[in-house]
Each structure stands twice: as C-alpha cells, then as structure tokens.
Structure 1
Amino acid sequence: MLSFKLLRSAILFLSLSVSLSSCFSRYIISAKEVRRHYADKKVKPKEIFIKNDTLSLSLASMGPDTLPMLLLIHGAPGSLWGYMNLMDDEDLQKHFHIVSVDRVGYGKSRLKKRRYVTSIETQANALLPVLSLNKSDQKVIILGRSYGAPIAARLTSLAPDKVKELIMVSPVIDPETERFFWFSKWGRMSFVQLFLPAAFNAATAEKYSHAAELRKMLPVWEQLSVPTTVIQGGNDWIADPTNIDFAKKHIKSKRAQYIFLYNAGHMITFSHASMIKEMLLKSRLFQDKITALEPKGEGMERE
C-alpha cells in the first residue's frame, strides 16, 4: 500500500511538473531554438558577457554601439531571446544599437553565490554596467516587460542622466494586485523544482517576494523624471489591468503617458509590435497620433 501511494505521488508530481513547464514554455527559448532561428538569417546577434568578481551578465547585441541604445529587459520567466521579434526588425536595426539582457538568475547571468535574485534593487544595480556599452551621443531608451518593468524603472531612477525614455509594457507594479495561480504553490516544492526549468524556479522565487519588493518601490515612482510610457492590455491574465491605474496614481511626472489596449493580452511586444516599433522609430511617445493601431476590433485609449 505504501509503495502504491509513493508511486501515485511520484506520478502526480511528475505530471504537475510537466504541466507547469508547459504553462510557461512560450516564455522560455532553448539554445537549440535560437540556433535554428538564426541559421539562415543574414544579420545575427552578437553575444556579449559583462563580468567582474561578483557578476556575470549575458547579453545579445544587434547593430553598432555608435547608434542610440535600446535596452530590453525581460519578465519572469523569460530570457533575452524573448525579444527576438524586435531584435530581428530591419528598421529597428538601422536606427538602434539593440541590447537584450538576461537578468541575473536567468540564462547565463549570475551574481556570485546567489541562485536567485528577488530584490528589484539588486536586479537594477546589476544592469547598470550595461549602460556603459552605449557609445552614441544620445541617451538610452529602456523597455521593460512584465516583471522587468519595475526593474527598468528602478534602473532608470539610478541613472536618470543616462536614460532618454522609459517604456513599461504589461507592467506588474502594483503590490496589492499580485496574481497567484493554482500552480504557484506547487512550484515552490523542492521535489517539483527538480523537474522544472531553472528560469521557472527563478520566476517562482521572484513571485513570492514581489509584493514586498514592489512596496519598497513606492518612493521611486514619484521620483521618475524621464519621459515614461505605460502600456497595458485589458485582457492580461498575468498583470492585472488595474496596474495602469496604479501607475497613473503614483507616477507624478508630467512627462508620463498611458496607453490602454482593451482587448490585448500580456504579450503586447508581439501582438502590438508594429505600434511599439513606430513609437520607437518616430519618437512619438509624446505626440498626438500613433498610426499603427492594434488588430481589427481592438480599441486604444491614450492619456
């Protein structure tokens, strides 16, 4: 009887692990998939490592460093390759030095003796050396998605003199609306974690610290002085749509704007890539009209 219970438990845990992996497989791209993706492309990213005694950062770079830098920060789980659609865009390549980075705890990016890094402050500080790769005469545009959005904001607040614009897409920034799912608690079990991708385990560690970390961010929002854009989808199942209301309440800068896409989900950098591309290329973050609207049937509100 005992053996049967153990076997049943093992099967349950394995099935759960497979289910958890499948839930977020679209956010994790394997090295094999990356090689296959770029096998026939003329323009391929250059992989860069920033290393010192305590830090190792993995980055992918597109274009000469004399062009203005566009820094892309992923969510949780995720990786630098989650922005391949923007990195591969020929028009963006002509105008930007595109840099996508693995946050510490993801991919090959590590802090010495730290398996996971749940601190937003530490994550942002770890990214500061990336800004030194900007060799242009213009400031950096920082785009952060999902859990990467508050990290992008903290990074901006640490080096406001080096940042031209901050863009937060599908941001998870309100500590009172942190969403937990049926599988969240199972992902914390050490036995289950043995069968999960490292990125998923890092994301789970971040999730259970995130609300507390976001409360530490409350003073930061009022200090933001660079032009800031918040883009939120109305059908986002990961970031509560009311995150945009939190942003409106706490970001005091008059140089902030908010875009609400009623029918968009979480992956706006894919579903509305043309809109984001036009914003970047034409520097229309603070103009009255963006012509590349969302797919037919979707509405957009701008403030």
Structure 2
Amino acid sequence: MKKIIPNRKRFYFSLAIVLLFIYAYDFMEMRISTPTFQAVLSDNPLGYRARFDTLEQDGRALRYLEIGTDSLPLVVFIHGAPSSSSFWKTFLRDSSLLSKAKLMAVDRPGYGYSGYGQPELSVKKQAALIAEAIREKRGQHPAVILHGSSYGGTVAARIAMDFPDLVDGLLLQSASLKAGSEKTFLFTHITRHWPFRWLLPGSIHVANMEKLSHKAQLDSMAGLWGRIKSATILLHGDEDGLIYPENAIFARDHLENASFLEFKMLEGRKHDLLWTKRALLEKSLEKLIRLTAGGADALALPEG
C-alpha cells in the first residue's frame, strides 16, 4: 500500500475542515434577515425597537442597525470574520448598556446584508464606509465609541486613524493589529482557488480572502497609529492562538497620542472573550462611556 506523505495528509485534513464548515454552515448563525432580527431585538427590557438602514457609497452597501436613545453616547459594534451584526445580539438587548448608550451594529462589507459574499479587501474603504454611517448620526450623540472584535478591531482602529474627530472611545478586543501576528490555516490558502471556492458559503469565502490580505492591510496602517486620539482600552487573551497576544502589545506601544490608554492581557484566555469575559467587555464599554461623557473625572467613578 502506498504511503501517504505528510503534506498530503495535511491537505486531506484541511479539506476535511473545509467540508465540515460547508455542512455545518446551516447550523451556524452567520446572518439574520431584517424582519427576524428586528423581532429578536424587540425582546429587550426597555421596550426599544431597532431601526435598520442601508448606506450606499462607492458601489458598496452597508446595512446597519440602531437601538436606544439618541441623546446618549453612541456605541458602534464592528464584528470579525466570518460573522455579521447578529454576532452582537446579546449586547444589543442588554438593559445596562441600553440605559447608558444608543447601540449600533454594522454588517461589514461582504457579510450579513452588506453585499454578502463580495469581499472588500481594503480596510481603508471599509473604514470610510462605516465612518460615513457614523457621521450621519454624530450630531445626535455626545460621544462615539467603537468596539472592534478580532478583524473588526482592525477596521475600528483604521476609523480612529482616518477620522480621529469622529471617534471618542475605542475598545479593541482580541484585535488583529500587528502585521503577520496571526494564525492562517492551510485550508485558507487551498480555498482561494476556484475549484474549491464555489463550495464555500459566502461569509467564509470573504473571511478567507480577508485573511490572506491581513498582512498587507496592517502594513499600510503601521505608520498611522499616532493619529489615534481617542480613549482606548486593549483586551486580549494571553493564550489566543488565532490572533496572537503580541497584537495588543504592539498597539499599546504605538498608541502614543491616545487621550487615555488601558491594557489588559487576560491570563489563560483565548480568542473567545465575547463569551468568557462578556462582563469585562461591558464594564470596559461603560468606562469609555464615562470617560468620553465626563472626562478625566470619570476615572474616579465606580466601575460596577
């Protein structure tokens, strides 16, 4: 019997992972239609109704939603990959957050209902599109805070770089921020080729294409960190095997002009802080709300 060489074993293993993604896709909540999502979000203790809208700019569409009171600070959630605004549904129904801020979540280009399956590899263009949606709301709110998760953190950082006067607070959680400091799976390279690409759900195709462009996009941002002026909190797990911990260390060392900077490397935590450290994420958002609404005096306020 012919011996299978290790490279071929890796190929078959990666192909098996791809097939698992394909068949598991129907059971993975990658996006929720507007009517269904509106019904899901209406189940909140304060009785708020979510409003959905679509912004079109330079040939790309951006679906986003808002829920809460206009007079409060605006918290904008930016998801990673593969995902969509539905990723944030638990946060968007949280009574504590809704009592302190209006909440907004976007479908990044290529995900959800923002040109599903069509990648936008330019982080600069993604940032400009989301910034335009924020700009339309800016005058209604005393402050704007961005929460970027994983590759959503890349986009959030780029918004704060390119539109510093638009962003008052920044929560970068498990964020991809340093070029070349993340894991890339073999199947990501395999499925970039057309014989395999057609097998994939659109969201995974977009995620793969983004993954392969991460280094170039982050390299283009390397000299722009000094533009960020907003109060910033960095949270990362010290055992994150997907987006490595040095991403947060890199950002900490380059955020020289942030008005406030807090850095937490969470012991024993991986790339799952949205599930394992949700209370800390909410407290971090609430701290940024206090900071941006009350200035330095807010640091004296309790966090509970």
TM surpasses 0.5 = yes
What TM-score, normalized by structure 2, do the two folds share?
0.81
Query: 1:200/1:32 Cα in 2 relative to 1: closer, same or farther (>3 Å)?
Result: same
Equivalent residue number for residue 81 of structure 1: 86
Q: Larger deviation: 225-234 or 135-144?
A: 135-144
Unaligned runs of 5+ in 1: 1-10, 293-303
User: Residue in 1 aligned with 2:9?
Assistant: none
Unaligned runs of 5+ in 2: 1-11
State the Cα distance separating 1:166 from its structure 2 match.
1.0
Equivalences for residues 1-303 of structure 1 within 5 A: 15-21=16-22, 28-31=29-32, 35=36, 38=40, 41-42=43-44, 43=47, 44-52=49-57, 54-110=59-115, 115-131=118-134, 132-253=136-257, 255-283=260-288, 287=299
- The alpha-carbon deviation at position 27 of structure 1 amounts to 7.1
Q: Is the 8 A contact 2:61 2:114 kept in 1?
A: yes
| Corresponding letter in the other structure for 2:70 | D
The question of whether the paired residues in 2 share the 8 Å contact of 1:17 and 1:192 is answered with no
Shift of the alpha carbon at 1:141?
A: 0.4
User: 1:73–1:148: 8 Å Cα contact kept in structure 2?
Assistant: yes
Structure 2 distance, partners of 1:14, 1:253, is: 45
Distance in 1 (alpha carbons) for counterparts of 2:217 and 2:132: 22
CA RMSD for the aligned pairs? 3.1
Q: Deviations over 1:130-177 (max 9, x none)?
A: 212234341200111101112101111222222111110001111131
Q: 1:245 to 1:137 in 2, by over 3 A?
A: closer
Moved more, 152-161 or 184-193: 184-193
Once residues 78 and 178 of structure 1 are traced to their aligned partners in structure 2, the CA distance between those partners, rounded to angstroms, is: 18
| Range with bigger deviation, 17-26 or 258-267 | 17-26
TM-superposed deviation, 1:39: 8.4
Distance 2:26 2:34 in 1: 12
Deviates more, 1:39-48 or 1:126-135: 39-48
Q: Distance in 1 between matches of 2:204 and 2:122?
A: 17
Measure, in 2, the Cα distance between the counterparts of 1:231 and 1:25: 31
Give the residue type in structure 2 aligned to 1:120.
V
- CA offsets, 1:21-72, max 9 Å, x none? 4788887434379938828825453222123562321012211333211001
> CA distance change for structure 1 residues 137 and 76 in 2, over 3 Å: closer, same or farther?
closer
Is the CA contact 2:78–2:106 (under 8 Å) kept in the aligned structure 1? yes
Number of aligned residues: 280
Tell me if the contact between 2:14 and 2:186 (Cα under 8 Å) persists in the aligned partners: no
